Amino acid sequence: MLPIDAAAHGSRWRHRHPVDKAVLGLGLTLLAISLPPWPGAALVLVTALVVLLGPAGVPGARLWRAYRVPLGFCASGAVTLLVQVGGPGGPLSPADGGAVRAGELMLRTSAASLGVLLFAFTTPMSDLLPRLVRAGVPAPVVDVALVTYRMSFLLLDSVRRIREAQAARLGHTTRAATWRSLGGLGATAFVRAFDRASRLQSGLAGRGYDGTLRVLVPEARISVPFTAGALALLAAVTALTFVLERLLP
C-alpha cells in the first residue's frame, strides 16, 4: 500500500462521507484556480495547510513526501515563464514580467495541489470508487478502475520482491548488470501481470460474474454541519481575499 493510501485509511476523517471532504478539498482547489493569485491563492495555501496539519491530522513529514512531487512539477512549469526564446534580447533572454507570472503560477498550482492532497489524504479510493456508480458513472468504468487500483498494489509488491531478489544475486553491481536486471524486471513484471489478470478472470467466471463487481462500502452519511462549515470556510476565504485585495498594494 502506498503511504498516501495508508494515511487515508488511518485518517481522522476516514469514516466521513466522501462528499463532505470533496466540498472542502476540491472547493479549495477551485478557489486556488479562480481567485486572484495574490492574496487569494496564498490564503488558500495557508488554509489547506492548517486543515491538513490540524483537524485532518496528517503528519507533516508524510505530507511533505507527497507534496514535494507536485511541487516539483509546479516549480518546473514556473521556471519556463522566466525566460523567452528569441526576440531583441537574443536567443534566450529574461521575459518581461516573467518573475511575476512565475510567482502567480507557483502560488496557484501549489495551493491547488494542497486542496487535492487534502481530499486524497482523507479519502481512500476503496470508499470513493464504488460510490461513483450512484453519481451516474457507468458501472463497467468503475469496475475497471477498482480492479486496476487493487491490482496495482500487487504489481508494485511483485516489482519490489523482484528487485530485492536481483540485488541479493548481485544484479546491480555494474552498469551492464543493472541494465540486464532492469530488462529482466520489466519482462517478469509483464508476465506476472498477465498471469494475475488471467487468474482473476477465471476466479470471477467461477463465481458467476455478471458484469458488476459487488463490494462492501462502509456506511456513511453526508454531514450537514461539516458541509456547512466547509462552505462557510470557503466563503470566508473568498471574502477575505477581496478585502485584502483592496487593502494591499
Query: Is the overall model pTM greater than 0.85, yes or no?
Result: no
Q: What pLDDT, on the 0 to 100 scale, is given for residue 106?
A: 87
Domain edges within the chain: 3-123+219-247, 131-206
Average of per-residue pLDDT across 35-51: 89
Is the pLDDT at 232 greater than 90? The verdict is yes
Interval 161-170: pLDDT, tens:
888 888 888 7
Q: Which three cell numbers stand for residue 223?
A: 454531514
- As a whole number of angstroms, the distance between CA 171 and CA 182 comes to 9
Which pLDDT band, with edges at 50, 70 and 90, does 146 fall under?
confident
Q: What pLDDT, on the 0 to 100 scale, is given for residue 249?
A: 63
- As a whole number of angstroms, the distance between CA 144 and CA 201 comes to 12
3-state secondary structure of 52: helix
Interval 1-13: pLDDT, tens:
577 777 777 788 8
